Structure 1
Amino acid sequence: MKSRSLSVLAMIAIVSLAACGNAGDNKSADAGDHAGHNHAKEAPAPATQTAPAVAQIKDDMLDAVYRQYASLTTALVESDMAKAKIAANAIEAGAKELKGADAVGTAATRIAAAKDIEAQRVAYSDLSNNLISLVKKAGMHGGELYVDFCPMAMNDKGGYWISGIKEIRNPYFGDKMMKCGEVKETLQ
């Protein structure tokens, strides 16, 4: 089992390294009509969001999947479909090795196959909800992760996501409403 986990971790690392040179300019930022909302357009976000090194989930395989999820979140914040697809493929591979993570793998498959950024974001909502449950069940080995919420995501039904930073960087709207949302829970 240990060698199988190491093999999957190695596969995730290879997919991640392959992502470095394959990010195309396949961007879309259509988030619907939110003209009446009072959210000023924010400056472009920094290139990446990664969880602090001290934040670690107790289950090593789940922690590896979370690292790819952080890359996926960054890709959606940047409205970068190509990077989102690469991260989703890595999540799908890792989810196959996680007990009770079938829904995470299914959502990751939908993200990788999506034809537009909005479809990726809808599947991301499902992935996030399932990943939040898995992380809560596994617990944290150290550090903190944040469960964030945007009330306007998913056609005003709201959407959750996990972040390694307290600052809100909204993956559901990207630079259109970068700071829309709030931290709902801290996982320690």
Structure 2
Amino acid sequence: MKRIFGIAILTALMACNQAEKKSAETNDSTKTDAASVKNEISIKDEKKLAIFTQYVDLKNALVKSDAVSAQKSAAVLKNSLAAYEGCEPTADIAGKIAASNNLVSQRKDFTVLSADLIALLKNAEIEKGTIYVQHCPMANKGNGGDWLSSEKEIKNPYYGNEMLECGRVAEEIKAK
């Protein structure tokens, strides 16, 4: 009986070690694949491309939980949105983010900003690359939140380092 019990423990330990090695190998190959392929985005409408690029800067500032950088990025984005016909209300939202140094408030407004920009960019003529619409079900007290990304890898702007990889790719907006 002791021998059977000992073999069972030994087998379980060996299985756990093998699983760790396999997951480490898988993670390593995934990282090199993601690093070697850069997703360059090209949008026919230069104004939409500028808006998307500035939005990504804002998202990245929120990923880093950097309220000051988020303010600066949102101020630049606000000006671009104000200059784009029909985006004046969205520019006001970017202005609210630029006016606040409270990360929680910025992230709450980022939800509305993201929804507007997702709608804007779904109709964009993408010439090259893929824009990823990503979703975190836990954002906004469980109501969820979406955002745009130029990378398939999840980097959650609603939680930063607290839950950096929480989320999934909900949709891909690709070149036609």
Name the TM-score, length of structure 2 as normaliser: 0.75
Give the superposition deviation at 1:151.
0.3
Retained in 1: the 8 A contact 2:71–2:101? no
Confirm whether residue 75 of structure 1 aligns to residue 22 of structure 2.
Answer: no
Match of 1:55 among 21, 28, 41: 41
Retained in 1: the 8 A contact 2:39–2:150? no
Confirm whether residue 129 of structure 1 aligns to residue 107 of structure 2.
Answer: no
What is the Cα-based RMSD across aligned positions, in Å?
A: 1.1
Aligned counterpart, 1:120: 106
Q: Please state which structure has a larger fraction of its residues in helix.
A: 2
Partner AA of 2:87 in structure 1: A
Structure 1 residue runs of 4 or more that deviate by more than 4 Å after TM superposition: none
Separation in structure 2 between the aligned mates of residue 55 and residue 182 of structure 1, nearest angstrom? 20
Partner AA of 1:146 in structure 2: Y
The runs of 5 or more residues in structure 1 that have no matched partner are 1-51
Separation in structure 1 between the aligned mates of residue 45 and residue 90 of structure 2, nearest angstrom? 15
Aligned counterpart, 1:164: 150
Separation in structure 2 between the aligned mates of residue 139 and residue 163 of structure 1, nearest angstrom? 17
SS of corresponding position for 2:123: helix
The runs of 5 or more residues in structure 2 that have no matched partner are 1-37
What whole-Å deviation, never above 9, does each CA across 1:13-48 have from its counterpart, x for those lacking one? xxxxxxxxxxxxxxxxxxxxxxxxxxxxxxxxxxxx
Partner AA of 1:122 in structure 2: K
What whole-Å deviation, never above 9, does each CA across 1:41-96 have from its counterpart, x for those lacking one? xxxxxxxxxxx563122211011011111110110000001100110000001011
